[in-house]
Amino acid sequence: MKKEKIQSGLALFIAILALAISLWQGFEERRHNRLTVKPLLSFETISHNQTKSIRLSNNGLGPAIIKGFYVYLDGQKVDADIENPWLQVMKKRGLEGQISQMWHLAEASILKPEQSYILLSWPIEVRQDLQIQVAIEYESIYNKSFSLKEDF
């Protein structure tokens, strides 16, 4: 009788231990899956052939879903609903007709892993820096929110 109680106690202990390990493994697998599709956006300033550019890249392993793209000019948020925010930057900074490239990200745009966009290019001889701030809010496919903000 005592031997049977010990055996059943050990069986119960092993079953509980197996359940705990299975639950832990499930949580770790979920965490791993989220990390393997995490986007990682970054800005880079490039100077090449008398031109300066702002490049946005997704260096993460998952797509970045854009939730907001904002440009701040003299501390004030540029209203992107009225027009492309770069047009207001061009007017205020004396760059009208001088921008060689501009890209505006709309809400729900998706940046795939290893994808890059030149957001803005301008001639260095006209202006070295723009004294602006660019901010991006984005999500992973698991709806985890991230943000990025940088001065240029």
**Domain boundaries along the sequence of the chain:** 1-36, 40-151
Q: In this predicted model, which residue has the larger pLDDT, 90 or 39? A: 39
Enclosing H/E stretch for 18: helix 2-36
Tokens, residue 82: 């009225």
- Residue 116: the pLDDT is 97
The percentage of residues in the chain with a pLDDT greater than 90, rounded to a whole number, is 53
- Residue 118: the pLDDT is 96
pTM of the model: 0.79
| Separation of alpha carbons 92 and 90, rounded Å | 6
Task: Note whether 126 and 98 are within 8 A (CB).
Answer: yes
Look up tokens 């106690």; give the residue: 9
The CATH topology of domain 40-151 is Immunoglobulin-like (2.60.40)
The percentage of residues in the chain with a pLDDT greater than 70, rounded to a whole number, is 99
| Separation of alpha carbons 75 and 102, rounded Å | 21
- pLDDT tens string 21-54: 988 998 888 888 877 899 999 999 999 888 999 9
Average pLDDT, the chain: 90
